[in-house]
Amino acid sequence: MEIADHSHAREENTNIHITREGHWFTGDKKIVNFRVVSHFKQSLFRDAKGIYVYQTFRQFAEKGYITVKGPLLHVFRIDRNEIMLDSLDTLPTASAKIYQNTEDEALYLYYERLDCYASIPAAVAPALGELLSEDNGVVYFNGKPVASTAITAWSGSAE
């Protein structure tokens, strides 16, 4: 995958943060407009300073760094070949890494491009279930063991 060069963009620290429940806020106000959140999710990138939303307007470009305190993205669709996130990013199912968080026992997808975790909502549970198996108490996703770990850093965890 080609890495975007946004080094020319003005850098800003935003007051945008994602809660432990995966909700997007600006300051203490929840961002409720689905289209705004969707636009932000489709504009996410990472560099050495963290995850940022990249925006352009005419000749101006800006990187707005965000704080991630929970799952940044959500799995939108999953099948034997491909996983689609709600950012519209896709990754091959064969290389996907699924973890069970010991805090809530939920399953999360590790998304390498942004070095973050994505939640797996109930809506995709039936499709996920087709790729899960169990043998002697060990759960497998697509033939690979599901690691059980305490997710303490939702972004920049250097997995």
Domain assignment of residue 5, yes or no:
no
Closest residue by Cα to residue 124 from 70, 74, 81: 74
Which tens digit of pLDDT belongs to each residue from 72-109? 999 999 999 999 999 999 999 999 999 999 999 999 99
Q: Please answer whether residues 17 and 71 qualify as being in contact, where contact means their C-beta atoms are separated by less than 8 angstroms.
A: no
- What was the pLDDT predicted at 13? 82
Angle at 94 between CA 88 and CA 159, to 5 degrees: 75
Domain assignment of residue 48, yes or no:
yes
Residue 138: CB atoms within 10 A of its CB come to 10
* Ramachandran angles phi, psi of 11, nearest 5°: -100, 135
Instruction: Kindly state whether residues 78 and 145 are assigned to the same domain.
Output: yes
Domain assignment of residue 155, yes or no:
no
| Total domains in the fold of the chain | 2
Instruction: Kindly state whether residues 79 and 125 are assigned to the same domain.
Output: yes
- What was the pLDDT predicted at 4? 76
Determine what percent of the chain is predicted with pLDDT higher than 90.
84
